[in-house]
């Protein structure tokens, strides 16, 4: 029987993907929240709570949520040398890889047949690069990778419907600083 482990980066992106996939897996769907990139514990907890709240409101107790743990030290150690490469740069490649690898490891350990990630929903992410990684991990772990095209607009609708918190930066310290710089530039112009 088919089963899916879906990596969730945040509730807004999760909303569109769970909506698209839920019926295809007959309730055999679990969500993994593994995001060591998030800059503070408070923000990590906030995003996790939103994932839990959204899933409970929409699916009751039908979707299990796995908390991958907050491993920000690991993220800083592995990504710090590439911190200045900007969004979509090498820093993001490592960040995607860290989260996708863990998803495949968990899926394989649990005997699940499929893995997917919500990372490709956002237009700010490099979906082609993420999907290429997913296909490489599929071969390595013998877990099928689902690389669907998810509807960003659908996530906006669901965010409105469920009053989901939409963060204004991707997650890491650098992305928060880049957000601040963008705001400053807008303020100055």
Q: Which residues would be at the binding site for ligand SF4 (CB under 6 A)?
A: 37, 87, 91-92, 95, 170-172, 174-175
Tell me whether residue 89 or residue 148 sits nearer to ligand SF4 (CB atom): 89
User: Least distance from C-beta 61 to ligand SF4, angstroms?
Assistant: 30
Tell me whether residue 6 or residue 29 sits nearer to ligand SF4 (CB atom): 6
Q: Which residues contact 4 (CB under 8 A, 6 or more apart)?
A: 21, 25, 28, 29, 30, 112, 113, 114, 115, 116, 146
CB of 6 within 8 A of CB of 99? no
d(CA 148, CA 76): 30
User: Least distance from C-beta 78 to ligand SF4, angstroms?
Assistant: 11
Tell me whether residue 146 or residue 172 sits nearer to ligand SF4 (CB atom): 172
User: Least distance from C-beta 25 to ligand SF4, angstroms?
Assistant: 26
User: Least distance from C-beta 111 to ligand SF4, angstroms?
Assistant: 29
Q: Is 4 left (phi over 0), alpha (psi -120 to 50) or beta?
A: beta
CA angle 97, 98, 103 (to 5 degrees): 95
Tell me whether residue 10 or residue 146 sits nearer to ligand SF4 (CB atom): 10
DSSP letters spanning 79-102: HGGGGGG-TTSHHHHHHHHHHHHH
Tell me whether residue 124 or residue 184 sits nearer to ligand SF4 (CB atom): 124
User: Least distance from C-beta 62 to ligand SF4, angstroms?
Assistant: 29
């Amino acid at each position: 029987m088919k089963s899916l482990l879906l990596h969730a980066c945040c509730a807004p992106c999760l909303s569109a993907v769970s909506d698209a996939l839920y019926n295809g897996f007959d309730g055999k769907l679990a969500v993994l929240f593994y995001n060591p990139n998030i800059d503070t514990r408070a923000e990590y907890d906030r995003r996790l709570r939103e994932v839990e709240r959204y899933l409970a409101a929409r699916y009751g107790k039908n979707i299990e949520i796995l908390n991958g743990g907050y491993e920000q030290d690991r993220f800083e150690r592995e990504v710090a040398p590439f911190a200045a490469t900007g969004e979509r740069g090498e820093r993001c490649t490592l960040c995607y890889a860290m989260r996708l690898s863990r998803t495949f490891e968990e899926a394989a350990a649990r005997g699940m047949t499929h893995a997917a990630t919500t990372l490709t929903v956002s237009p700010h992410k490099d979906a082609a690069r993420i999907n290429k990684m997913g296909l490489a991990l599929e071969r390595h772990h013998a877990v099928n990778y689902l690389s669907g095209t998810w509807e960003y607009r659908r996530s906006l609708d669901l965010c409105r419907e469920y009053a989901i918190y939409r963060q204004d930066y991707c997650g890491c310290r650098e992305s928060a600083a880049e957000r601040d710089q963008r705001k400053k530039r807008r303020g100055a112009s």
